[in-house]
A and B are shown apart, each in its own frame.
Chain A
Amino acid sequence: MTENSNDIEQAEDRVPRRVIGTPPPRGEASALGAPASTDEPIVYEGATFPDPAKARKAERIVALLFLVSFVGAVAFIASYVAFQVGTIGRTQVSNFALGSSLTVALLALAAGIVVWVRQIMPKYNLVQQRHPMVSDPEVRESVAETFLQGANESGFVKHKLLRRTLLLAAAPLGLLPLVLLKDLGPLPETTLRHTVWKKGRRLMVEGTKQPIRAADFNSPGGILSVVPEGYEEDLNALAKATLILIKFRPEDLKPGTKLNWTHDSIVAYSKICTHVGCPAALYEQTTHHILCPCHQSTFDAADGAKVIFGPAARPLPQLPIGVDGEGYLIAQSDFNVPVGPSFWERGDAEAEARGQA
């Protein structure tokens, strides 16, 4: 060790005791490798030093790069102080100033070290031996013996009752974390089968939150995104109850659409895709196709929103609508099937609904 002034076995007559604070004498063994004995670069097997002239030239390049890095880091601090945020424009300037200076500081430092390694450090071709990962047979044998010895000493093998009750005790302990997680959420029960739509609830335009007068929604091909009255900003309600409302020419409607659920050729479908629940938000007027932008399930809005392409397996459920006394569009009831993506307990709700009708 370098500072072995406590080493009482040191031969004092040969090596003078060091005074604390003075450099250790040359030639003393160090934990950090044998000290060099001369000022000349040591050349050893597997290391080829570069030409000193080239190394000196490289040193200047490295120094320049390190200086650039220093300037970059200082510029970063200066930018932090100089450029405030608070508007979009100022944020942009601050971002560019901080980012560029950080980039310069990091890349210049990286480049400097690379030049240092490649042109000043030696080229290495060191060889080390590998040994098989497996332990020696004697070691393995000894470990096996120790294991058996310990197992027998512990009494785990001999005392059957101990072993069995221990396993019994451990089993429910492993279940505790699972039990604790039960309160993460309520059970599904039948919540997925209902939405907030009910008889008389008005249809509101998403965004403006205005009710829709049937007589005003009168140009065929028109489309609206609709939310339920009273739940315009309730995301949980919207995740199931959002509608897509389309006005047709009467002759365009095909048998798949339930006509007594429409009002004056205005049809309401669930906007929640039956595939994985994205809002099926794209509508093509000429073909009456509703397209979900996530996975491109395509539904024919004129024909009961039946699937004509893509991974969705079921049509978008239709909501029965009518008008109230003031001529505003309202729901006649809730959906008769669960909306949105399929789930295990769902079953063939469409067939059941048909059976009831």
Chain B
Amino acid sequence: MSLDSAPKAIAGPANFIDERIGAGSFLKRNLRKVFPDHWSFLLGEIALYSFVILLLTGTFLTFWFKPSMGEVTYNGSYGPLVGVHMSEAYASSLNISFDVRGGLLMRQIHHWAALLFVAGMMVHMLRVFFTGAYRKPRELNWIIGVLLLNLALLEGLTGYSLPDDLLSGAGLRITEGVLISLPLVGTYATFFLFGGEYPGHDVISRFYSIHILLIPGILLALITAHLILMWVQKHTQMPGKGRTEQNVVGAPFYPSFMAKSGAYFLFTFGVLALLGTFAQINPIWLFGPYTPADISAGSQPDFYMGFLEGSLRLMPSWEINFLGYTLPLSVLIPALLPLGIVMTGLALYPFAEQWITGDRREHHIADRPRNNPHRTAIGMAAITFYGLLWLLGANDWISAKFHISLYTTTNVGRVLIIAGPAIAYFVAYRMCIGLQRHDQDVLSHGVESGVIKRMPSGEYIEVHVPPAEDIAAHVRGKEPIPAIEAAPDSDGVPPKGMRGPLGRLRAKLSETYSTDTEAISLDEGHNGHGAPHAAVGAGEDETKSIGH
């Protein structure tokens, strides 16, 4: 049975809306908008749906949460804390957990969703980075993404400070310690944020309005812009058969992509509900109310703040006193430098790459990470840098679990944070080159078939078959990395703009960034080195099957 005409329930409202805003032409263009398919394109959606779930569960929590630091005596269902003096914020968080049906579930889903939100953004960003999907025309969306990530970190920080338990208070204390260390404005900023001396009576209610209104509002606006730009510019696609820089190949928005997205949202929600049910997170009732006099050993922030914790732990005790002023480098450097390097690096990368390669074209086919070895190596070095800091944010746990001296973990970390990224760069670069050679092998020699054949001479060889058509097309999608024209002309004079020190640096960078494409080309056919290979199947010669 098929639908012959739109049912009245849909046609009526559709007509109503079209007559008023002319939605028809928009829908005509967009209902069958094509979305390319690749598992890695779903990563950003995880973050998007986590955000929606955060809004839903967060709204629920606001109905009971009281963002007040006024002191109350707890008298709720959690026996061990009855009679204890605490802030109203902490008491109401306990109330949500124990005295509101579904409150604990929503709190735990909210916290898990926050972790997944940031994790989803990070993984999505890595996908975009490694496939070069940030290239023209998508630089603006990339920068919106960097902003979103920063805001999400801030949103997380303001969020987990709200329950006002001992753990969240430790995070708040560190925040204060970092803020007060800022030269010139540190003490003023701290006094303005906390309404006076730490901890004061204002910070929870101020964080609350930042957490539930200010940042979510900006996030919502930026996410909307992010999606609109994605929609207007159309999604990138992986290289493959029939895919070019001028087309999009995939499934239509309506009905396929729409249904898949709906399912994916429900799936994300389902997994978060599963985690919220069975995986306890942030059991605030175990920590007790906050007091600046106490702390529990092994206090850990949420995972996305771990790298800051690690860098603070790693730093040697440098502090400069001059002219009666103090520059607490042992706080300033670890708090600002890693974050600054990573975020500034991310924001500038698309433009730096354009400057180095001189490539001003639009790109809609995503790179396979191996096909741009320097970019991939830079990315891996950054991941190693971040990952090591993150790991060292838990060096007390590492020390306790593996029975390594605590100071050894720190000292090793101080070396690794410099050496690790360099090693990662080199290893990743060599791996990319190795994988490219393997690609070339597949194209020129074919794939091992598992069939052993005896030659008339008595020699045994393994039969190679040409790669499947779609795989071959995927591999052949490699684009050479462009380089700027920097070679001197016949008189030995370099081109204009390449003559100064900056120009020479640019030329050098450009040459390095693009070298591998000359060393390894996928265009060549089989040129008869090594043992002869026989082809099976249609009986054609393999050299024919790889020709263009």
Contacts and interface: CB of A to CB of B under 8 A. Distances in A.
A313 B319 contact: yes
Contacts of B297: 281-282, 293
A293 B105 CA distance: 31
Interface string B178-212: 10111111111011111111111010000000000
A238 interface: yes
B60 interface: no
Interface in B144-202: 170, 173-174, 176-178, 180-188, 190-200, 202
Contact of B193 (A36, A133, A184, A186): A184
A186 B196 contact: yes
A71 interface: no
Interface in A254-301: 271-272, 275-279, 281-282, 293-297
Interface in A110-169: 110-111, 113-114, 116-117, 121, 124-130, 132-133
Contact of B199 (A127, A236, A345): A236
Contacts of B539: none
A16 interface: no
A186 B201 CA distance: 13
A293 B313 CA distance: 10
A225 B293 contact: yes
A116 B260 CA distance: 9
Interface stretch (B11-19, B381-389, B481-489): B11-19
Interface stretch (A53-61, A84-92, A210-218): A84-92
B453 interface: no
Given A106-B273, A341-B328, A130 B199 contact: no
A318 interface: no
A26 to B, nearest CB: 5
Given A114-B267, A117-B263, 7 more contacts: A96-B277, A124-B251, A276-B173, A277-B176, A313-B318, A313-B319, A345-B326
A117 B252 CA distance: 12
A311 B32 CA distance: 58
Contact of B252 (A103, A111, A124): A124
A33 B6 CA distance: 9
A10 interface: no
A130 B246 contact: yes
Given A133-B137, A293-B299, A293-B396, A239 B198 contact: yes
Given A31-B27, A276-B331, A185 B180 contact: no
8 contacts: A32-B6, A130-B246, A185-B192, A236-B196, A282-B297, A295-B312, A311-B317, A348-B326
B114 interface: no
B3 A36 contact: yes
Given A41-B2, A99-B273, A124 B256 contact: yes
A183 B200 CA distance: 14
Interface string A326-357: 00000000000000111111111001000000
Contact of B269 (A100, A106, A124): A106
Nearest to A69: B266
Contact of B270 (A83, A107, A130, A133): A107
Contacts of A230: none
A110 B264 contact: yes
A36 B259 contact: no
B457 interface: no
A30 B11 contact: yes
Contacts of A113: 259-260, 262-263, 266
Interface in B358-391: 362, 364
Contacts of A28: 5
Interface string B333-360: 0100000000000000000000000000
Nearest to B293: A242
Interface residues on B, range: 35 or more
Residue from the set A32, A86, A132 with the largest chain B CB neighbour count within 10 Å: A32
Given A88-B78, A127-B247, A185-B193, A2 B4 contact: no
A241 to B, nearest CB: 9
A187 interface: yes
Given A23-B5, A276-B177, A99 B277 contact: yes
Contact of B292 (A188, A279, A346): A279
A127 B292 contact: no
Nearest to A102: B273
A3 interface: yes
A282 B325 CA distance: 31
B292 A343 contact: no
B266 A91 contact: no
Given A85-B101, A275-B330, A130 B364 contact: yes
B437 interface: no
B490 interface: no
Interface of A: 1-4, 23-24, 26, 28, 30-33, 35-36, 38-42, 80, 83-88, 91, 94-96, 98-100, 102-103, 106-107, 109-111, 113-114, 116-117, 121, 124-130, 132-133, 181, 184-188, 191-192, 206, 225, 227, 233, 235-236, 238-240, 242, 271-272, 275-279, 281-282, 293-297, 307, 309-314, 340-348, 351
B174 A276 contact: yes
**A contact face: mostly helix, strand, loop, or mixed:** loop
A344 B326 contact: yes
Given A91-B97, A271-B293, A342 B105 contact: no
A281 B326 CA distance: 26
Contacts of A347: 321, 324-326
A130 B263 contact: no
Contact of A80 (B101, B248, B250, B291): B101
Nearest to A298: B407
Contact of A107 (B12, B98, B191, B266): B266
A128 B247 contact: yes
Given A87-B77, A235-B199, A295 B137 contact: no
A114 B260 CA distance: 6
Residue from the set B12, B32, B191 with the largest chain A CB neighbour count within 10 Å: B191
B317 A3 contact: no
B32 A121 contact: no
Residue from the set B15, B101, B297, B318 with the largest chain A CB neighbour count within 10 Å: B101
A294 B263 contact: no
A344 B184 contact: yes
A254 to B, nearest CB: 19
B407 to A, nearest CB: 6
Interface string B88-129: 000000000111111111000000000000000000000000
A127 B249 contact: yes
A294 B299 contact: yes
B277 A130 contact: no
B493 interface: no
B331 A293 contact: no
Contacts of B294: 206, 225, 279, 281
Interface string B293-320: 1111111000000000100111111110
